[in-house]
């Protein structure tokens, strides 16, 4: 027995292929949307993993440093270091801002990393080119997504930095690429204004008679100097010695140092549960709608394809073809269409994923679920079409 489904496909090759292509693009879009959803969550996790920290110490009663602004004195880390179980405690600052590069402005998250040996929390955990920062000023390590290359000179606020290293997949939870600069420079960038604002500030201080006493010439200078320094950081990143539990050490720090401390699990809950929750839900809903629409379109395509063959089906029934054979032909075609659609969709989604501005994560598990979903939808759709086909009266073939 020959396969009627195969013959029909071969005969109508281009039409079938085009239908499969169209279906595949639709499935690809759905897969991509799922990838966007997963990418958002992965970005949040990457942010936490890449910081290399087990505990985050932030301003009291804030959800910082990612979900809410948080400001600590930069010597707070010294008292955190004294807590039992703490291996490393490093200051860190985060600020999303525009960076001026040779090829235009880039929106990036500027991370201020504390000086120390490689492996200090906050430092990029791996590089793809170049080296880590060695000087205490004016060097930067940038993420590939920023578009900067080794040796580029980039401008952050008032200073110029030279890119000495490149990383990959270091992004903020919003998908902005990260640029790592020494902590002091980052503090200046975050808290020190541009020249005009500084001059205005100085002028205002000079006009204040409390600071500008004639008998005490040094007071004005001291006040201006104190206004020009910044003593704040956004958080302290902590790693623990082996054998100590995150919750225990966090509780100690929180109680005795009057700071708020979050463990890795809590930070993840904040990031995923609060920061990206709304966007994630938005995309999740859209994904569901897209999947339903895709299913409907697949069903429609299969149904229409079957209806186009109604006369052949009537003839086949009349000359003695079994219902089983006809049903098999329809279902086989539907399944082949589904498989082609899925393959095209997966390939398309993989090839256009890197062009999305934010990270698209296509997980094998999602693809597997999608595969079985597509097959299921094709089978169900073919059942509807089969029902229509079998209801055809073979007597239709004999004219009235």
Partner 1 sequence: MKVLQRQGRKLTLVGLMIVLLVLFIVVALRSGPLAPIAVTLDTVEARAVSPGLFGIGTVEPRFTYRIGPTTAGRVKRLLVDVGDRVTAGELLGEMDPVDLDERVRSQDAIVSRSRAALDEAQARQDYAQAEAHRYEQLLVARSTSQEIVAARQDAGQRSIAAVQAAQADVARARAERNAVATQRQNLRLIAPVNGLIASRDAEPGTTVVAGQMVIEIIDPLSLWVNVRFDQGNATGLQAGLPATVTLRSRHGATVTGRVQRVEPRADAVTEETLAKIMFAIPPTPLPAIGELGDVSVTLPAQSAGPVIPNAAIHRVDGTTGVWQVVNGDLRFTPVMLGASDAAGHVQVRAGLDTGDRIVVYSARMLSARSRITVVERIPGVTP
Partner 2 sequence: MTTPLPANGILIEGLTKRYGSGDTAVDALKGVDMYVAPGEVVGLIGPSGSGKSTLLKCLGAVIEPTGGRMTLGNDVIYDNGWRIDDLRALRRDRIGFVFQAPYLIPFLDVTDNVALLPMLAGLPNRESRQRAVELLGALDVAHRAKAMPSQLSGGEQQRVSIARALVSRPPVILADEPTAPLDSERALSVIRILHEMAHRFQTAVIVVTHDEKIIPTFKRMYHIRDGRTHEEVGEGRAIGGAIHA
CB 55 within 8 A of CB 262: yes
The set of residues, in sequence order, having a beta carbon less than 8 Å from that of 19 and lying 6+ positions away, is 301, 305, 337
Candidates 316, 326, 362, 381: give the one binding partner 1 (CB under 8 A).
Answer: 362
Residue list 8-67, contact with partner 2 (CB under 8 A): 8, 10-12
Closest CA to 112 of 129, 86, 136: 136
Residue list 191-220, contact with partner 1 (CB under 8 A): 214-215, 217
Least distance to partner 1, CB of residue 214, Å: 6
Residue list 315-354, contact with partner 1 (CB under 8 A): 340, 343-344, 346-347, 350-351
Work out whether 399 is an interface residue with partner 2 (CB under 8 A).
yes
- The beta strands (E) that lie in 260-313 are given as 260-263
Q: Which of partner 2, partner 1, none does 324 bind, CB closer than 5 to 8 A by kind?
A: none
- The two structure tokens encoding residue 126: 């791996």
Distance from C-alpha of 277 to C-alpha of 269, rounded to nearest angstrom: 10
Candidates 111, 112, 169, 392: give the one binding partner 1 (CB under 8 A).
Answer: 169
Stretch near partner 2 under the rule CB under 8 A, chosen from 160-168, 282-290, 316-324, 344-352: 316-324
Least distance to partner 2, CB of residue 392, Å: 12
Closest CA to 124 of 109, 137, 105, 138: 109
Work out whether 15 is an interface residue with partner 1 (CB under 8 A).
no
The set of residues, in sequence order, having a beta carbon less than 8 Å from that of 383 and lying 6+ positions away, is 331
Q: At what angle do helices 13-51 and 364-390 cross, to 10 degrees?
A: 150
Work out whether 2 is an interface residue with partner 2 (CB under 8 A).
yes
Candidates 322, 351, 356, 368: give the one binding partner 2 (CB under 8 A).
Answer: 322
Between CA 378 and CA 355, with CA 25 as vertex, the angle to 5 degrees is 145
Distance from C-alpha of 110 to C-alpha of 176, rounded to nearest angstrom: 10
- The two structure tokens encoding residue 377: 């939808």
Q: Which residues bind partner 1 (CB under 8 A)?
A: 9-10, 13, 17, 49-50, 52, 75, 87, 115-119, 125-132, 134-138, 144, 149, 164-166, 168-169, 184, 214-215, 217, 229, 231, 239, 241-242, 340, 343-344, 346-347, 350-351, 361-364, 367
């Amino acid at each position: 027995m020959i396969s009627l489904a195969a013959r029909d496909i071969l005969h109508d090759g281009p039409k079938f292929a085009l239908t499969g292509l169209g279906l595949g693009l639709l499935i690809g879009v759905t897969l991509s949307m799922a990838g966007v959803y997963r990418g958002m969550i992965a970005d949040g996790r990457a942010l936490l993993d890449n910081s290399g920290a087990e505990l985050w110490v932030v301003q009291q009663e804030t959800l910082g440093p990612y979900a809410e602004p948080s400001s600590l004195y930069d010597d707070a880390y010294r008292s955190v270091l004294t807590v039992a179980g703490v291996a490393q405690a490093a200051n860190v600052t985060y600020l999303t801002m525009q960076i001026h590069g040779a090829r235009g402005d880039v929106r990036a998250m500027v991370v201020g990393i504390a000086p120390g040996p490689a492996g200090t929390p906050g430092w990029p955990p791996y590089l793809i080119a170049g080296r880590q920062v060695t000087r205490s000023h004016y060097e930067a390590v940038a993420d590939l997504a920023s578009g900067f290359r080794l040796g580029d000179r980039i401008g952050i606020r008032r200073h110029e930095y030279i890119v000495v290293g490149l990383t990959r997949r270091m992004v903020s939870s919003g998908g902005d690429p990260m640029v790592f600069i020494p902590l002091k420079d980052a503090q200046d960038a975050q808290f020190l204004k541009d020249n005009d604002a500084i001059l205005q500030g100085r002028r205002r201080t000079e006009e204040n008679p409390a600071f500008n006493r004639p008998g005490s010439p040094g007071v004005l200078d001291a006040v201006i100097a104190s206004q020009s320094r910044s003593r704040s950081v956004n958080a302290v990143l902590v790693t623990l010695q082996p054998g100590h539990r995150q919750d225990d050490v966090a509780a100690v720090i929180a109680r005795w140092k009057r700071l708020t401390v979050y463990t890795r699990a809590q930070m993840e809950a904040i990031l995923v549960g609060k920061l990206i929750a709304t966007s994630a839900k938005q995309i999740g809903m859209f994904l569901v709608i897209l999947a339903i629409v895709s299913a409907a379109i697949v069903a429609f395509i299969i149904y229409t394809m079957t209806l186009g063959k109604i006369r052949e089906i009537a003839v086949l029934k009349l000359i003695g073809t079994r219902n089983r054979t006809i049903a098999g032909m329809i279902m086989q075609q539907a399944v082949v269409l589904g498989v082609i659609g899925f393959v095209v969709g997966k390939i398309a989604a993989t090839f256009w994923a890197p062009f999305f501005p934010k990270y698209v994560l296509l997980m094998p598990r999602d693809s597997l679920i999608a595969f079985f979903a597509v097959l299921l939808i094709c089978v169900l759709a073919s059942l509807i079409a089969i029902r229509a086909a079998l209801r055809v009266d073979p007597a239709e073939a004999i004219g009235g």
